Amino acid sequence: MLATLFLIFPVAMIVVAVQSTVMQHITFLSGRPDLVLVSLVIWTAWAGREAALLPLLVMAPLSDALVGLPIGASVLPLLAVVYLAGFGERTLFGGQLGWPLIVSLVATLLAALILFLELTLLGWDIAWVPTLLRAILPSAFLNSLLTFVLYVPGAAWRQRRPTLM
C-alpha cells in the first residue's frame, strides 16, 4: 500500500508533464487528446474509483496550473470522469476494452460541459457550441483512440505479470 502511494505522485507528475508538452502537439480537427482524462479512465477501470481519487487530486491542480485555468477548475469535471468510469467496476463489461473506450468518449463531453459551466459561472466568455463542435468532439475521438492505444498493451502486461500470492 505504501509503495503504491509513493508511485502515484511520480506517475501523476509524468502524466501531467507529457500532457502539457507532447500531447499539445497532437491535433485532429483542432481537438487534442487529454492524457490526464484517459489515464484516470484507465486507472479507474483497473483499480476502481477509490484508487483513482488520489491521482485525480494530484493531477487536476497541476494540469490547471500548466494550462492557465483557475487552480482546481478541473477537479469537479475529472471527478465526474472517475465516477462515470467507476460504473464499470460492478458490471459484466467493466474489465473489457469496450467500456473504457465508451467512457473516454462520453467522459470527454461530460468533463467539457462541466468545465464550461464552471468557467461561465466564473465570468469567462465561452463559445459553447463552436467549441464543442470544433474542439471537444474531435478531442473525444482522440481520447478514445488514446485509450485504445494505452489500454491494450497495459491489459496484456497486467495479465502476464506474476502475482505475489
Composition of the chain by helix, strand, coil, percent to 5 = 80, 0, 20
138: CB partners within 8 A, 6+ apart: 28, 29, 30, 31
What grid cell was written down for 42? 484507465
2-160: which CATH number, 1.10.3470, 1.10.1760, 1.10.10, 1.10.260?
1.10.1760
- Give the max Cα distance, the chain: 55
pLDDT at 6: 77
Question: For the chain, where are the alpha helices, taking DSSP H only?
Answer: 2-21, 35-47, 49-67, 75-85, 98-121, 128-131, 137-160
pLDDT at 102: 87
pLDDT at 8: 82
Per-residue pLDDT of the chain (165 residues; tens, 9 = 90+): 555 677 888 888 898 899 888 888 888 888 888 899 999 998 888 888 888 888 899 899 999 998 888 998 999 999 999 998 888 765 545 456 677 888 899 999 999 999 999 999 999 998 888 888 888 999 999 999 999 888 877 666 666 665 544
| Residue among 114, 41, 115, 47 nearest 81 (CA) | 41
pLDDT at 36: 92
**Chain centroid, CA 22 distance in Å:** 16
> DSSP 3-state assignment of 96?
coil
Look up cell 500532457; give the residue: 19
pLDDT at 133: 86
First to last CA, the chain: 15
pLDDT at 157: 66
Query: Across the strands, what pairs with 28?
Result: 31
Look up cell 473516454; give the residue: 104
Q: Domain boundaries in the chain?
A: 2-160
pLDDT at 68: 87
